Amino acid sequence: MTEEYAGRYLGKYRILERVGRGGMAQVFKAYHPDLDRFVAIKLMHQFLAEDPEFKTRFRQEAQNVAKLRHPNIMQVYDFDFDEETESYYMVNEYIDGPTLKNLLLDLASEGKRLPLAETVRICRDIGKALAYAHTRGMVHRDVKPANVMIDADGRIVLTDFGIAKIIGGSTGLTASGAIMGTPSYMPPELGLGGTGDHRADLYSLGVMLYEMATGKLPYEANTPLSVVYMHVNDPLPPPSSVNPDIPRGVELVINRAMAKKPEERYQAADEFVDDLQDLGSVADVAAPRAAAPKPATEASQPPAPPAGPPPADTTRPRPVPEAAPRREPAAETPRRPVALYGIVGLVIVVALAIVAVLALGGGGGDGAAGGADATATARPQRDADGSSNRCA
């Protein structure tokens, strides 16, 4: 609770108030008196420290992330362990502004969408942040609107670099076998229990572009596991079927970024950024009022189409029903990262894959089956690369 912390010191930082809570941490606004600087302290939930390898991963990854210096990446200043709460914490640049997730929710509640030019600008800046980090060997693995913030000057900032690796290590699995990631933005290879590479981030950015350009997530279902399954198997619903006004160029970028197979996607974030750059004029024509730096209230597009039946909120990581009970007691808004239990998920996905392959009879099929076929051929490779070992 925030009252317990207000006025307390974490190292040199005096806690002022709690500004958020996610699946892995609470976030506090704090003040460094000597430097006269406000910071955002991410206090990792205590249960994480129970994983014996967490400490090593935390130090290693925090050190790596602290080396990143890019205008579109949240700066990490410091990190340490708090003896009193037995929790690790990271001291970050304080961002005075909303998350992209909240911005999109606010717009949706008014029946608006982000102007296309602004959408393109945000994705381009996140793409630049990814290009910078990827060339330094860092993969984010949890790119999503909740991890993008927009400061008072309209600067786009990608947060939580390294967190997925700190929690999931190099296997991408938590200590309890949960897959790291957020179902709605999770590329097929991560849903299948693989570790993925930098192209996983480009897929997630493609999902964000889809969501912002159409006002709808590409895959929605009643359970997080179903969403993961759809990312693996279902053909992408054409963005233009959701928003007929979407420029063809934007649709092509989404299709490429969200290819099921990593080798069919953009191979580097720079390529993604270049294509978005080329779209600039298209987007400006489509949304001429959108050029101003601040994104919040300028939505000039027609309202997003009405949503269907309310799907599960798979933009927030949380346990699938089959999951083992979480170790931490439920908080007022439990938003646990990555709560898909890999082994259960993998078994189900593999079982469904076998059914799909049998149904296809080893050969041709109609259009819908073609989509399933493409992923069915990819799965045996995944199963063979060791993920089935975890299953056995």
| Chain residues in the site for ligand ATP (CB under 6 A) | 19-25, 27, 40, 74, 92-95, 99, 146-147, 159-160, 317, 335, 337
Closest CA to 260 of 371, 366, 178: 371
Near Mg ion by CB under 5 A, which window of 6-14, 121-129, 145-153, 231-239? 145-153
Partner from Mg ion, ligand ATP, none binding residue 27, C-beta < 5-8 Å depending on class: ligand ATP
Task: Tell me whether residue 91 or residue 350 sits nearer to ligand ATP (CB atom).
Answer: 91
Which alpha helices (DSSP H) does 68-148 contain, by range?
100-109, 116-134
Contact 161, 351 (CB under 8 A): no
Q: Residue 315 interacts with Mg ion (CB under 5 A)?
A: no
- Residue 108 and residue 279: Cα distance in Å, rounded? 24
Catalytic residue among 80, 125, 142, 383: 142
Question: Applying CB under 5 A, which of residues 147, 243, 375, 387 lies at the interface with Mg ion?
Answer: 147
Q: Residue 26 interacts with Mg ion (CB under 5 A)?
A: no
Tell me how far CA of residue 217 lies from CA of 261, 362, 369, in angstroms. Answer: 19, 32, 22
Contact 349, 191 (CB under 8 A): yes
Q: How far is the CB of 121 from ligand ATP (least distance, A)?
A: 20
Q: How far is the CB of 98 from Mg ion (least distance, A)?
A: 13
- Tell me how far the alpha carbon of residue 216 is from its chain's centroid: 16
Q: How far is the CB of 183 from Mg ion (least distance, A)?
A: 15
Partner from ligand ATP, Mg ion, none binding residue 233, C-beta < 5-8 Å depending on class: none
Q: How far is the CB of 27 from Mg ion (least distance, A)?
A: 8
Q: Quick check: helix, strand or coil at residue 139? A: coil
Task: Tell me whether residue 117 or residue 339 sits nearer to ligand ATP (CB atom).
Answer: 339
Active site residue 125: no
- Tell me how far the alpha carbon of residue 131 is from its chain's centroid: 16
Q: Binders of Mg ion among 355-374, rule CB under 5 A?
A: none
Task: Tell me whether residue 160 or residue 234 sits nearer to Mg ion (CB atom).
Answer: 160
Task: Tell me whether residue 163 or residue 192 sits nearer to Mg ion (CB atom).
Answer: 163
Residue type, 368: A
Q: How far is the CB of 31 from ligand ATP (least distance, A)?
A: 13
Q: Residue 195 interacts with Mg ion (CB under 5 A)?
A: no
Residues contacting residue 346 through CB under 8 Å, at least 6 positions apart: 192, 193, 387, 388, 390, 391
Task: Tell me whether residue 142 or residue 383 sits nearer to Mg ion (CB atom).
Answer: 142
Residue type, 309: P
Near Mg ion by CB under 5 A, which window of 3-11, 83-91, 157-165, 268-276? 157-165
Half-sphere exposure for 68 (CA within 13 Å, toward CB): 32
Q: Binders of Mg ion among 332-351, rule CB under 5 A?
A: none
The long-range contacts involving 56-60, CB below 8 angstroms and separated by at least 24 positions, are 57/165, 57/166, 57/169, 58/88, 58/166
Task: Tell me whether residue 195 or residue 315 sits nearer to ligand ATP (CB atom).
Answer: 315
Half-sphere exposure for 325 (CA within 13 Å, toward CB): 4
Q: How far is the CB of 82 from ligand ATP (least distance, A)?
A: 16
Q: How far is the CB of 205 from ligand ATP (least distance, A)?
A: 16
- Residue 391 and residue 386: Cα distance in Å, rounded? 9
Q: Give the binding-site size for Mg ion (rule: CB under 5 A).
A: 3
Q: Residue 160 interacts with Mg ion (CB under 5 A)?
A: yes
Residue nearest to Mg ion (CB): 160
- Residue 192 and residue 311: Cα distance in Å, rounded? 22
Q: Taking the alpha carbons of 337, 338, 341, 343 in that order, is the dihedral positive or negative?
A: negative
Contacting positions for Mg ion (CB under 5 A): 22, 147, 160
Residues known to be catalytic: 142
